[in-house]
Structure 1
Amino acid sequence: MEKCKTLMCRGLLPKRQTQKKSCKDKRHVPRSNQEAPANQLCYDEEDDSVWLFEILDSIGANDDYRKTIQRESIKQEILETFGGYLTCYYMGGTFEGAVTPDEPNDIDVMKCDEMFPVIQDISEAKMNCCSLLIVQELDTPDGYVKLQLVYNGIPCTSTDWHRFIGMHKYLKIDRFGRIVLFDFLMEPYKDDLFSRPKNKPAVKSEKYYDLNMDTVISYRCKTWPKEAQEWLSRKRHHCWPSTDMIQELQTLGFFVVRKGHPFSPEIDVEWRISLSLQERKLMFNLTDVQHKCYIVLKMLNRDVINLECITTYHWKTCLFYVIEESSSNDWEKNKLWHCIIRCIKLMLRWVKRGFCPNYFIPRENLFDGRMNASWRLISVNVLEEILNVRFECLLFVKRNNIGDYVRSRGSSDWYKWLQLNSKKVYNEALYYKNTATIEKTLHVFNTAILEQLFNLANGNVVHFVKCIWNVLGCIQHACSSPITGHTHYETKQSLSLLLPYMYTCLASNVSAMAIHNQNCQVRDFLLFGSFIYFRGGKLSGHLKFISVLYAIGMYKDCEWWLHQLDEECFKYNPSFCNCRYIKSDSTMAYEYIINTSNLKVFTCVSFLPTEIAIIPNALIFEMFRHFGISLTHEDKTNAYCCWHYRAVVDCNIFFFLLKYVTKEKLRCFQECENARLCIAFLLFVKNVRHRDVANNLLAWTFRSNYKTPLALMCLAKSWEISNSWDLCFMIFTDEMKQKQYQFNSAKLHMLVILYSIWYARKPSIIHFCFQCFSMSEEKIPKCSRCKISTYCSKRCQIANWKKHKRVCKIVRNYHTV
């Protein structure tokens, strides 16, 4: 069997050098041959440790990147919890900062249902509500429990079974006659995107393209687990974790997740104790050397060991034990490789024993169900081989070019090239980690707040404004009471990201109401109040305020406010959007994204149907892109499709549209043309997310100037962009996938153009052929019957006659409309 071969048998690892030499003076000496052969590599532990530390720093395994990930993850966690009914906790290396920029973004999320508290003693049960009591028998495996349903402070037994008829699919009666939880009492995921394998805690993403997402649904107990009492009183000779840290971890309680012990006869009704919050807290507080040690262990596990029986969670547990048993002096920069070897040796001892103890519950074996005798033999051989070849095993780490870095130690040119490449990857990853928070903010605002409130108001703008005002109050209240155990500062900083969008939405809806008010004093009062909130709405608020000024005919004021904004920023700062999911959005030009300073990105601007009074005419078409499409109620309310029922446009495109219509009203035609060229420029460099909308708006500007062929070209491009495959990235129902591409206002623009040509008889100032669309500065022959359609040649006219015949007959009957 191929898997039974060790790394040495497969010839993957080089022989360890018998004679140790120093490479201190040779590492950066230029050589004609860039690749240093494996047999010329040399070994000096301290020197290698310092070198590896610096390489890890350069590829992104450093404190700056780690702290950035942790900071942004906390913000996203608070935002997600505020916008949902489940408490959200981000787990795993992607959010602990234990990853490098080149690693895939695997997302691990713990979502906790706080409606059903878990208790360890019946005295903790509350009246008039359900809770879950932890029960264990003598033969219950360590680290696993059963959850007995408790109602009105009384544990439920088989005699109460008839009282829970509607919950039978979630409950079972165990061998002792207790009603125990079999599955989650609520179903958080019902669509085809997620599925949960049997006896696995994670709800895994399916049909999610390149994104690997695991969501673990759990219940939480607020007290420390009785099975982990040993950890609190454990003798720690090196004071790690500290006493203060132990007390803090004790207050976090624990989760229970749906997973039974693989060897238990009651596997279907068992739940596993999870102390993920404590593990995350410990990972957040690792030193730089400890963090780098874990990164290297993960690299070796993925690219060198590559066995299913040993996971990154085993290495995390191993690291915790080694840190606990080591002095802080052992975790120095020049001892990095020594620490890595210590971890591998401890793992080897565990594998030989076939027992990997849980860090908090040492009697629980993390190898159960994973490592049989065959896998143990393979694992021992692989780990012993790594200890034999030591540092040279890094030659076969592919991720982050670590193997190439090891080979480049004798070539300065190659080393510099690798450094430049790592810096580029690092900057890109750092940018995306920061913009992920913007994406989460937009997601929570658009789906969890905006759409829910709008549906709740049922089109009543007054009710909708009251709902927004109430949410603003909820945000202020949440800032005073921390969410998910975070500090007041972290909660306030995270939720404050929602405020600009809330202020803008509130102000624009109040302005739309004010415009229709017949009482001048009331109207002016409402508009002035809206102005204050528009100012708090940052850029999108400024643009919507200018749109209000344009709607009430204050064109000079529009011009002044437009001049206060930096036009160059609108040209070159990247556009960012989260109101829809388009797969080809990733093709945006990197130079406009990575080189942006201070994360100055532009988000999109959206208008609800209640704001139609303040929308420029060119954008009103977008409000009715759903015209002519029949959908079920389920598809209409799908969070990923709600943007179809409002006008959405990129901030940069909207700025130049406002400039175009304002300058047109002021008859500044040259500046008007410049604004149109800027829209075309943004489309050319792909710095636009809603590219179909931008093309439609560009077509509108050409149509308003009677440049019909240019308008038709833009509309054709808009349809080309809106292909069904590109737009089906996050659509799950077959009906919606078939109709998704039809949500394009190009069809409405086309109807207006056809009306202008055939019935209003407003000819284009650019002469063009109705068949091949070739343009000409000179007049070209018209159809002798309708006197409207034009053709560049007789051949084109004959080719077009089949299409034109019926239209020609109809048009002749209507000389004027």
Structure 2
Amino acid sequence: MSDIPDYTCNVSLRLSKVLDEIGVNERMVIKTRRLGLMNDTIQTIAQQFTDEDVNVYTIGSRVEGTTTIGLNSDEDILCTLTWHKVIQDWSEWEPGKQNLLMIQDDTVSPGYCLLQILRNDVPLPEQNVYKQSWYRDSKGRVLLKNSIVNPADDVESVRHGPAQSSDEIPGFSAYDIVFAMTCQQWPLQARHWINQQGESPWPTLDMRQYCKGTECFVVGVGSKNSVNEELEWRISTSLAERFLIFNFNITQIRCYVLMKMILKTFITTQCPDSISSYMCKTVMFHCISSTYNNTWNEKTLLICLNYCLRVLYNCVQNNNCPHFIIPENNLMARRFTPVTKQVILDRLCYIISSNGNALLEIKCDQLGNRIQNTFLRLVKIVPEHVSCLMSGQLVKNVAFQVNELITALLEEMNKMNHIRLLLQTLYKYLMQLTHDMNQGHNKLACTTIAKFLSMHLGSALASINIQSERSVCRESIVLMTLGLNIDVASGKLKLASILYCTGDIERAEIILKNIKENYDLSVVESICQCYDFKKSKRKQAFNKLCYEANNEYALLQSITASCVRFLRCEINCCPKELQHEMFRSPQQDLPYRSDDDDWMNLAVVDSLPYIYFLQYKTYFHLRRHRDKQDAISNLAKCIVEEPDFGHRETALNLLGQCLEQENRIDAALRCYLLSLKIRGRNNAAKFHICRLVSSVLSRGFLEF
């Protein structure tokens, strides 16, 4: 590769420029990985708060930074289970645990293992078959079936191999969840790679040693070539492979992305379920390990791509693609029929021999058109545009993950009837988060969630104080202060709400004014994860700030606004107009609620309409008529114009009650009816309509 033709060099440079334009650049790769690892921490915290000692890992392209908007890759999530302890040596046996002995012998497919069930009282093999998931083989061993980790009992989920998959919902990414068990040590089949001393410059010895420290898993899927498919467990080195990709340079990442685009354009359309992106990743590993790092640069991108495609061609031709860490595991064993194989070979031969011209046919991310434009200079390239879009999505995903966790926690705590138990639970979570604050993304994620919980703990204490003394204790204010800056509005709105409820109208008005001044309507995105609904396009200014930021968690404080939530134990901290939302479901509506509708037992409102509502209430008490009218007009306007409210029906209910206070009965009734059009059941609007009609009829009767 030392002598690079001018044509190849020119095409490579233009191709690198186009990939930069569609978000495959160093800045976006770093940002994607940073936020992906933060999401791992958030999801792990979510699982551990539900009394499950589970670790969550995002694997695949969405954390590697090896996807684009056009590729639209699924989100791959690996969840470790703690039901059992997987050991490879009897010395690792632990009493009281369900120990599983990993068997890797000649009867097991390479890259797979059997799991023998051991007794939990003494280090001896289990002799009796107690459960359906246990099986006695011909040698008398009691083995664990891999179907035990099949989680696909959700009607919206299907099982693909070891994964539980969801269909894509508008505004959300499809995902695959793989449930796995952690090995106590790296399996014997994989240890040879760790200790391998070869001439290959990549991966380095230090990289191999780091991989040795990563967790290794077994996942519930057997080899399709095995007679014991339901008994075999696949050995997964996903975290080691993720680390290896984290050490790719930008040209290697671009080459991998191009391979996936080629796969999507030329092969999967004709031969679905033949070559996978994982095979492309494995080919990349082999190609990088057989070359020097300086081979991979912007000027040689096309040469490197053709080299990888030729290696893939050879793998298909020989029906052999060795797993990079466990080479005995052939990823292409019995993968294609002779007809399918010939089609794939023909397509790969066409692409390789085209010397880059085949790339012009790729419609994914308009790659072909963009390459042509670089030669014709028809369009001015704006490299930041797509990166801004991707950055906005990444940051908003983090905000969604945090809010989804907080919503789930609050829904569980809202079920607790005893206030002391609830306070103890909140305190326990805070202590757990404090303990988990180590460094890096762990500290950032834990700090953010701790702020949310501090705010609710302070608010719950304030509600008790208001009920008994009509004032708020110092401890409550201190806790509330810790959570004031969780985002641009919701924390401060809770404090303003408490001040309003205690009669401190002047201070409430000052806080509301400050919130409104910092709430930039052209930038701030509304965040709600109470339920799934289609989200609109993000604001351009929001995307731009996300792209420019290096500290996305700090950015969340100034450009996102979560919905404001009040538990029933916080009922004294919100105005009576909002309290009705805690009791939105009459008995006849309860059967129409799903398992995901526990948020309906809370009072929840989007931040922006709640700002204007509280302003209306404070200006009403302060007798500032013009400001009061501006507030009610702004409330009505934002309900109509802002696209991403999750609780628009609640905002309409609040607007209706304000209009009632203005004696605009017809307008109030229209608000309640519009609210019912949005959510026909489990809506406090029904109560307001009945109350309003009753009031009008009573007034008419009295006047009569």
Q: How does the TM-score come out when normalised to structure 2? A: 0.91
Mapping 1:628-639, distance limit 5 Å: 628-631=587-590, 638=595
Matched with 1:386 is 351
Q: Is the 8 A contact 1:195 1:203 kept in 2?
A: yes
Mapping 1:315-714, distance limit 5 Å: 315-413=280-378, 415-416=379-380, 419-420=381-382, 423-447=384-408, 449-455=409-415, 458-480=416-438, 488-518=439-469, 524-533=473-482, 535=484, 539-567=489-517, 569=519, 571-584=521-534, 586-587=535-536, 590-591=539-540, 593-594=542-543, 598=555, 600-631=559-590, 638=595, 640-687=596-643, 688-714=645-671
Partner of 1:583, secondary structure, is coil
Matched with 1:773 is none
Partner of 2:564, secondary structure, is strand
Deviations 1:397-426 (A, max 9, x none): 11111111233244322x32xx35x75443
Matched with 2:693 is 754
**Paired residues, number:** 680
Matched with 1:218 is 180
Matched with 1:202 is 163
Q: Distance in 2 between matches of 1:589 and 1:211?
A: 16
Q: Distance in 1 between matches of 2:673 and 2:107?
A: 70
The Cα shift of 1:384 comes to 1.4
Q: Is the 8 A contact 1:193 1:208 kept in 2?
A: no
Q: Give the counterpart letter for 1:311 in structure 2.
A: S
Q: Distance in 1 between matches of 2:689 and 2:200?
A: 75
Q: Distance in 2 between matches of 1:758 and 1:56?
A: 68
Matched with 1:33 is none
Q: Is the 8 A contact 1:149 1:156 kept in 2?
A: no
The verdict on how the C-alpha distance between 1:80 and 1:559 changes in structure 2, with shifts beyond 3 A counting, is: same
Deviations 1:775-817 (A, max 9, x none): xxxxxxxxxxxxxxxxxxxxxxxxxxxxxxxxxxxxxxx5479
The Cα shift of 1:104 comes to 1.5
Q: Is the 8 A contact 2:496 2:512 kept in 1?
A: yes
Percentage identity across paired residues of the two chains? 24
Mapping 1:278-317, distance limit 5 Å: 278-306=240-268, 307=271, 308-317=273-282
Q: Give the counterpart letter for 2:207 in structure 1.
A: M
Q: Is the 8 A contact 1:231 1:361 kept in 2?
A: yes
Q: Is the 8 A contact 2:71 2:261 kept in 1?
A: no
Matched with 1:67 is 30
Deviations 1:135-154 (A, max 9, x none): 13323211111011122375
The verdict on how the C-alpha distance between 1:352 and 1:235 changes in structure 2, with shifts beyond 3 A counting, is: farther
Q: Distance in 1 between matches of 2:589 and 2:28?
A: 48
Question: Rg bigger for which structure?
Answer: 1
The verdict on how the C-alpha distance between 1:127 and 1:184 changes in structure 2, with shifts beyond 3 A counting, is: farther
Q: Give the counterpart letter for 1:746 in structure 2.
A: A
The Cα shift of 1:513 comes to 0.4
Matched with 1:143 is 111
Q: Give the counterpart letter for 2:512 in structure 1.
A: L
- 2:690 matches 1:745: no
Mapping 1:80-95, distance limit 5 Å: 80-84=43-47, 85=52, 86-95=54-63
Q: Give the counterpart letter for 2:58 in structure 1.
A: Y
Q: How does the TM-score come out when normalised to structure 1? A: 0.79
Q: Distance in 2 between matches of 1:535 and 1:313?
A: 44
The Cα shift of 1:530 comes to 4.8
Matched with 1:25 is none
The Cα shift of 1:711 comes to 1.5
Q: Distance in 2 between matches of 1:602 and 1:499?
A: 17
Partner of 1:196, secondary structure, is strand
The verdict on how the C-alpha distance between 1:45 and 1:508 changes in structure 2, with shifts beyond 3 A counting, is: same
The Cα shift of 1:453 comes to 2.9
Q: Distance in 2 between matches of 1:239 and 1:709?
A: 78
Q: Distance in 1 between matches of 2:255 and 2:687?
A: 60
Q: Distance in 1 between matches of 2:422 and 2:294?
A: 61
Q: Distance in 2 between matches of 1:303 and 1:694?
A: 46
Q: Distance in 1 between matches of 2:279 and 2:228?
A: 25
Q: Give the counterpart letter for 2:417 in structure 1.
A: G
Structure 1: which 5+ runs fail to align? 1-20, 23-42, 481-487, 723-740, 762-813
Q: Give the counterpart letter for 2:688 in structure 1.
A: H
The verdict on how the C-alpha distance between 1:391 and 1:206 changes in structure 2, with shifts beyond 3 A counting, is: closer
Q: Give the counterpart letter for 1:656 in structure 2.
A: Y
The verdict on how the C-alpha distance between 1:580 and 1:527 changes in structure 2, with shifts beyond 3 A counting, is: closer
The Cα shift of 1:184 comes to 5.5
Matched with 2:549 is none
Which residue of 112, 123, 128 corresponds with 1:160?
A: 128
Matched with 1:26 is none
The verdict on how the C-alpha distance between 1:228 and 1:537 changes in structure 2, with shifts beyond 3 A counting, is: closer
The verdict on how the C-alpha distance between 1:619 and 1:157 changes in structure 2, with shifts beyond 3 A counting, is: same
Q: Is the 8 A contact 2:676 2:683 kept in 1?
A: yes
The Cα shift of 1:574 comes to 3.4
The verdict on how the C-alpha distance between 1:526 and 1:387 changes in structure 2, with shifts beyond 3 A counting, is: closer
Q: Distance in 2 between matches of 1:442 and 1:61?
A: 29
Q: Is the 8 A contact 2:42 2:402 kept in 1?
A: yes
Matched with 1:46 is 9
Q: Distance in 1 between matches of 2:473 and 2:216?
A: 55
The verdict on how the C-alpha distance between 1:714 and 1:568 changes in structure 2, with shifts beyond 3 A counting, is: farther
Q: Distance in 1 between matches of 2:470 and 2:506?
A: 24
Matched with 1:779 is none
Mapping 1:714-753, distance limit 5 Å: 714-722=671-679, 741-753=680-692
Q: Distance in 1 between matches of 2:291 and 2:612?
A: 62
Q: Give the counterpart letter for 1:587 in structure 2.
A: S
Q: Is the 8 A contact 2:12 2:300 kept in 1?
A: yes
Matched with 1:12 is none
Q: Distance in 1 between matches of 2:98 and 2:13?
A: 56
Matched with 2:238 is 276
The verdict on how the C-alpha distance between 1:117 and 1:685 changes in structure 2, with shifts beyond 3 A counting, is: same
The Cα shift of 1:663 comes to 0.3
Q: Is the 8 A contact 2:255 2:304 kept in 1?
A: yes
Q: Is the 8 A contact 1:220 1:255 kept in 2?
A: yes
Q: Is the 8 A contact 2:462 2:473 kept in 1?
A: no
Q: Is the 8 A contact 1:504 1:540 kept in 2?
A: no
Matched with 1:78 is 41
The verdict on how the C-alpha distance between 1:157 and 1:576 changes in structure 2, with shifts beyond 3 A counting, is: same
Deviations 1:543-571 (A, max 9, x none): 11111111111112222222333436254
Partner of 1:644, secondary structure, is helix
